Amino acid sequence: MSNRIKIKKKKISTLTYRIAALQVKMLHIQLRMRKIYEDQKIINEKMNNFKSNRELIKGSNTTIYSSIDMIITMEHLHQLVSDIFATKEITQHFDKEMYKILNSTRDITKKWKYVRNKIGGHIDMDVAEDFCEKHNFKGVFISEDLETDLSAINMLLLESAINSARKSSDIFGRDLELKNNLAGEIGIFVNKLNSDWNTAFAYFKPLSKLMYSVGKKEKIAWAGPDNIEGIITGD
């Protein structure tokens, strides 16, 4: 029989700048998510009033930019999860369920990261040129309704970015073809993005609850019960 005595590892303190920084990133992304959600809600209410493809295209311009913001935020969230996994102060408290939730968030956001690389921070010139060739756009644009045409171009540019990223991330299992079925393809894109968005952000509530439960007692013991205040104090 072994006489070894198991030594219980001492928990790392949560009273670190790293934990505070992690919360800063979490809250920043969460508030960004809420702002995008509020914008999308307003946009969706307007979308129901569009009667023609031209109205739909013109009215979808804000939707496209909002969708690109969502894709950019997905990449931010992907990096956040990497930061979380690299923070021993909190991972020491994770159970299998927490790892499962965060791995799901990481896997989902990774898919959209490749699309963001094509259109998020900058417009990949190869993507732009490929889609111009596909749709036979040559030379300068001559149009009687440039605003609507540019709205269509934004939609096709997003389509091209998604299709171009398929080698690394095949989100839809096929190319999107907005020109063949505008309303249907937009619906498929929006539903998939929204579904992944909701699943990816499901991490926030359980992780926040865990961080609060393991950190509150230690923080109060350090600061004292009479010195617990928010960042903004006074009137």
Structure tokens at 37: 């959600």
Structure tokens at 69: 């913001």
User: Mean pLDDT over all residues of the chain?
Assistant: 83
Amino acid at 141: F
Residue among 168, 158, 181, 183 nearest 72 (CA): 158
Tokens 């998604």 belong to residue: 162
Structure tokens at 121: 């921070």
DSSP SS3 for 95: coil
Query: pLDDT tens for residues 20-40?
Result: 999 999 999 999 999 988 887
Angle in degrees, CA 14, 16, 18, rounded to 5: 105
Query: pLDDT tens for residues 151-188?
Result: 778 888 888 889 989 989 999 999 998 888 877 888 89
pLDDT of the residue at 221 = 78
Residue 73 near residue 111 (C-beta atoms within 8 A) = no
Residue 46: partners with Cβ closer than 8 Å, 6 or more residues away: 59
pTM: 0.80
pLDDT of the residue at 131 = 75
Query: pLDDT tens for residues 104-135?
Result: 999 999 999 999 888 866 677 887 888 788 87
Q: How far is CA 162 from CA 151, 171, 181, in A?
A: 17, 8, 16
DSSP SS3 for 179: coil
